[in-house]
Amino acid sequence: MHHDERRKTTEREAGSIEWLRETPVSPAFAPAQAARLDGKDMETNQILKICGKCYRLIRLLGHGKGGYSWLADCDGSPAVVKQIHHEPCDYYSFGNKIEAERNDYERLKAAGIRIPEMLAIDVNAERLVKEYIEGPTIYELVRDGSSAEPWLLQVLEMAGKAKAAGMNIDYFSTNFVVQAHTDLLYYIDYECNEYTEEWNFENWGVRYWSQTPDFLKYTAAHRTEE
């Protein structure tokens, strides 16, 4: 989410979404005793069963205001496992986080925003699985001295589609990955909110797509996390 989920990823063929609902639950898809974990308790090499498949956690990718995102392995294929958390956030109000992930995903897909496929969701355990996209984030490129200019047209196209659908996406630069080998820009978060001029790309997001004072202030504050 906001200022998070920095990831270097590997493209995975999109699979069909497996919806694990609270009721009814088919035994064929229900994880055995799917515990609702606190994200802080997750650790490397832990095995999670999600919608009938086992995922081995490899490393933490990011900890945002909505959850913890882990690189995971499933039968030799990489994926992102996100565990929702309920830690307090002083700048954002939440409703049902896991339902919001599902609803926002469908809204983004309908708007034509390029995002990772959602591969599975477990509502009871507040956990979901995403496609894993290989490449650096815009944040990493800018932090390391590169220009984001080659991808501005792509993010502006996304912004236009988002506005046409009546919403803003989270334009912070950690939420965008440049896919290796294609140079396609992916919005790797599923967050979207109702459109306002204040939080659109031109008025807010663009401040974190180059080494502006706002960008450098954020980088200095989070240097120990990188």
Q: Give the structural domain span for 116.
A: 18-130
Residues 218 and 196 in one domain: yes
Q: Strands 18-20, 118-122: parallel, antiparallel or unpaired by DSSP? A: parallel
Residues 152 and 206 in one domain: yes
Q: State pLDDT tens for residues 151-208.
A: 999 999 999 999 999 999 999 999 999 999 999 999 999 999 999 999 999 999 999 9
As for how many domains the chain has, the answer is 2
Residues 126 and 144 in one domain: no
The pLDDT, as a whole number, for residue 87 is 54
| Helix H or strand E encompassing 20 | strand 18-20
Binned at pLDDT 50, 70 and 90, residue 223 comes out as: confident
Long-range CB pairs of 97-101 (<8 Å, 24+ gap) are 97/66, 97/67, 97/126, 98/123, 98/126, 98/127, 98/128, 99/123, 101/66, 101/128, 101/190
pTM greater than the 0.85 cutoff: no
Question: Which is nearest to 214 in space by CA: 173, 181, 182, 183?
Answer: 173
Q: State pLDDT tens for residues 65-98.
A: 778 999 999 999 999 999 997 655 555 555 678 9
